[in-house]
Structure 1
Amino acid sequence: MERTIRFYKNAKGEWYADIPEWSGDIADLQMVEGADELLEWIAASASECKLIMADGPMEDAEILNLIYIREANLGGGGDYILERFKGEWKNHKLWLCEVTEFVFKQLPQTIYFKEVAL
């Protein structure tokens, strides 16, 4: 499955995923625990970015690997590791909440992503 998602930073500097069909609380779409830092790298000085994300390989994509599935009482979703970003060693850990399961209909073992023009 492949999905394009827009991410934006609000006036407080907090990152959110723009998922129009999400009917839950907007707070569930906030990017925290390392995901916000990754979006800062991707967006550079911009306040938004758009990513193609997939649970199958894509050419020239960055790769997130699942390292731990969180229990529901710990926020659900999973902890991922980004070993490299744009060819540079990062070993960056981040959390993607249960919204990831909503988007992909599962918690992917590997998520491939790359930036696309807005």
Structure 2
Amino acid sequence: MKRAIRFYKNAKQEWYADIPEWGGDIAELQMVEGADVLLNWLEGSDNECKLLMSDNYLKNAEILDLVYIREENLGGGGDYILENFRGEIKNHKLWLCHVTEFVFKQLPERIYFKKV
């Protein structure tokens, strides 16, 4: 599955995913635990960015690898690692909540992404 997702900062400078069909609480769309740091690296000078994301190979994309699936009592979703970013070794850990499963219909073993 391939999908472009817009991420934006609110007035408090907190990152959120813009997923119009999400029926849950908007707080569940907040990007935290390392995902916010990654978005800060990507945003440049804007308060938003749009990413093309896929669970299948994307040419010239960055790669998140799933390292751990969290139990529901720990927030669900999965812990991922971004080993390299723009040619530099990062080993950046981040958490993507259960909204990831909503978008991809699963927790992908690997997520490819690039700025649109």
Q: TM-score, normalised by structure 2?
A: 0.99
| Superposition misfits of 4+ residues, deviation over 2 angstroms | none
SS of the residue 1:100 aligns to: helix
* Offset, 1:98: 0.0
Matched, 1:91 2:73: no
Distance 2:18 2:115 in 1: 15
**Deviations 1:33-82 (CA, angstroms, capped at 9, x unpaired):** 00000000000221000000000000000000000000001110000000
For 2:68 and 2:83, the matched residues in 1 are separated by: 15
Q: Whole-Å Cα distance in 2 between the matches of residues 45 and 80 of structure 1?
A: 26
Task: Kindly report which structure 2 residues correspond to 1:32-111, keeping only aligned pairs within 5 A, or say none.
Answer: 32-111=32-111
Gaps of 5+ in 1: none
- Amino acid across the alignment from 1:36: D
Question: 1:13, 1:45 → 2: CA distance?
Answer: 13
RMSD of aligned residue pairs (Cα, Å): 0.4
Task: Tell me how far apart the structure 2 counterparts of residues 74 and 46 of structure 1 sit (CA, whole Å).
Answer: 32
Partner SS, residue 65 of structure 1 = strand
Gaps of 5+ in 2: none
Q: Secondary structure at the match of 2:53?
A: strand
> Could you say what secondary structure the match of 1:31 adopts?
coil
1:26 equivalent to 2:26? Answer yes
Distance between the aligned counterparts of 1:19 and 1:50, measured in 2? 12
| Partner-residue secondary structure (3-state), 1:113 | strand
C-alpha distance in 1 between matches for 2:42 and 2:32: 15
One-letter amino acid of the structure 2 residue matched with residue 104 of structure 1: F
